[in-house]
């Protein structure tokens, strides 16, 4: 009995000690975050006259009172992001998008093991992406578009962020190659690495990600061929690889490999060969952009038969249309009532 009473007493003491300390820690961390901002007029409600759970943009879990979401998107805050943010260890959602935050992304974010969504897009963050983010093992949605973050994409992200469904690094200054470790992200649906300075080829291992729906590598310096393994992505709806240095031909059965394709953009590369007639099997295809490549031969005569096409860009290739057969596809476009331009 003595032992049980003792351990009960201990756990009571532990609860009493841990809960208030952590909640007070959240308040201190939020105030440290605010103190680092050079412009935080929108955070006037962030003062100790009321519980931090009532502060603008803060959402708490009740008992213990801990911050689970911080949503300050588009509130005009400016300045650096305090490393103290890593003390909000119950945080699941951090949305600081559409602001004027600058400086490094703190490595202490790696302490947020419950974090599912990290939205830092449309700011002025610079520096590199800390490998510590790979410790955010609950991450599902990571969006860092429109900043000036550079350096390599950390290999560790692919090894540890098992639940990641979306990662967008669009319009930053990332260099180096696409890590093949990303192939481990078996729930990945959306990968946007466009408008960076990435080099090297597309890792063939990525073909094992069966959930891939949106893949965008446009405007980098990616070379080599599209690996044949990518044609395993039977759920793929958007493929944007324009403005790179890719080459090679397109397989005859592409239309049957990607039955859900909505947008296919290969513009400004060095693709060669004929346009497979299976392209006309993609019944949802709305954008087909092949501008500035070395495709030759006829345009598939039934290309527009499903009527979904809205944008078709074929110029700057070696396509032939010197006789009636070459122009047959125009007839099929009659079904494309929403076609905007050619």
Ligand X SMILES: *[C@@H]1O[C@H](CO)[C@@H](O)[C@H](O)[C@H]1NC(C)=O
Calculate Rg over the CA atoms of the chain.
25
Order of strands across the sheet that contains 287-289: 58-61, 66-71, 93-95, 117-119, 141-143, 166-168, 190-192, 214-216, 238-240, 263-265, 287-289, 311-313
Rank residues 7 and 338 by Cβ distance to ligand X and give the closer one: 338
Torsion-angle region of 47 (φ positive above 0: left; ψ -120 to 50: alpha; else: beta): beta
If one counts every other C-beta atom within 10 angstroms of the C-beta of residue 146, the result is 19
Residue 116 found at the interface with ligand X (CB under 6 A): no
- Smallest distance from ligand X to CB 126, Å: 10
| CB burial readout 265-279, b (16+ within 10 A) else e | bbbbbebeebbbebb
Could you give the CA distance from residue 196 to residue 106 in angstroms, rounded to a whole number? Answer: 21
Q: For ligand X, what does the binding mask look like between residues 155 and 184, x meaning CB under 6 A?
A: ---xx-----------x--------xx--x
- Smallest distance from ligand X to CB 140, Å: 14
C-beta of residue 314 within 8 angstroms of C-beta of residue 299 = yes
Select the residue interacting with ligand X from 232, 249, 311, 313 (CB under 6 A).
232
What SS3 class is residue 313?
strand
Rank residues 38 and 331 by Cβ distance to ligand X and give the closer one: 331
Q: Which stretch binds ligand X (CB under 6 A): 15-23, 42-50, 233-241, 309-317?
A: 42-50
Rank residues 7 and 38 by Cβ distance to ligand X and give the closer one: 38
Question: Which residues ranging from 277 to 336 are in contact with ligand X (CB under 6 A)?
Answer: 277-278, 281, 305, 307, 331-332, 334-335
Tokens found for residue 70: 């911080």
**CA dihedral of residues 272, 265, 312, 232 (deg, nearest 10):** 80
How many positions of this chain bind ligand X (CB under 6 A)? Answer: 50
Rank residues 279 and 290 by Cβ distance to ligand X and give the closer one: 279
Q: For ligand X, what does the binding mask look like between residues 79 and 98, x meaning CB under 6 A?
A: -----x--x----------x
**Under 8 Å CB-to-CB from 134, ≥6 apart: which residues?**
110, 154, 156, 157, 159, 160, 161
Question: By Cβ distance, which residue is nearest to ligand X?
Answer: 74
Chain residues that interact with ligand X, rule: CB under 6 A = 25, 28-29, 32, 44-45, 47, 49-50, 54, 73-74, 84, 87, 98, 107-108, 110-111, 121-122, 132, 145-147, 158-159, 171, 180-181, 184, 195, 197, 207-208, 221, 228-229, 232, 255-256, 277-278, 281, 305, 307, 331-332, 334-335
């Amino acid at each position: 009995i003595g032992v049980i009473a003792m351990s009960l007493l201990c756990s009571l003491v532990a609860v009493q000690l841990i809960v208030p300390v952590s909640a007070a820690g959240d308040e201190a961390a939020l105030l440290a975050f605010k103190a680092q901002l050079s412009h935080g007029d929108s955070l006037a409600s962030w003062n100790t006259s009321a519980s931090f759970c009532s502060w603008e943009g803060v959402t708490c879990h009740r008992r213990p009172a801990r911050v689970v979401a911080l949503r300050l998107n588009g509130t005009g805050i400016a300045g650096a992001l305090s490393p103290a943010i890593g003390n909000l260890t119950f945080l699941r959602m951090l949305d600081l998008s559409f602001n004027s935050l600058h400086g490094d992304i703190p490595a202490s974010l790696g302490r947020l093991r419950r974090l599912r969504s990290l939205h830092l897009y449309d700011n002025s963050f610079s520096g590199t992406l800390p490998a510590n983010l790979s410790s955010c093992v609950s991450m599902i949605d990571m969006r860092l578009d429109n900043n000036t973050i550079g350096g390599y994409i950390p290999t560790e992200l692919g090894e540890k962020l098992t639940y990641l469904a979306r990662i967008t690094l669009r319009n930053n200054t990332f260099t180096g190659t696409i890590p093949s470790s990303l192939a481990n992200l078996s729930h990945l649906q959306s990968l946007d690495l466009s408008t960076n300075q990435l080099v090297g080829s597309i890792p063939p291992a990525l073909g094992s990600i069966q959930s891939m729906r949106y893949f965008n590598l446009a405007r980098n310096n990616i070379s080599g061929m599209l690996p044949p393994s990518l044609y395993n992505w039977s759920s793929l709806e958007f493929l944007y690889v324009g403005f790179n240095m890719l080459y090679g031909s397109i397989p005859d059965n592409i239309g049957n490999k990607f039955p859900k394709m909505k947008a296919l953009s290969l513009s400004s590369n060095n693709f060669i060969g004929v346009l497979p007639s299976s392209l006309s099997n993609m019944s949802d295809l709305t954008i087909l952009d092949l501008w500035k490549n070395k495709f030759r031969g006829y345009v598939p005569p039934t290309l527009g038969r499903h009527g979904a096409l809205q944008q078709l860009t074929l110029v700057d290739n070696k396509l032939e249309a010197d006789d009636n057969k070459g122009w047959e596809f125009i007839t099929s476009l009659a079904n494309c009532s929403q076609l905007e331009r050619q």
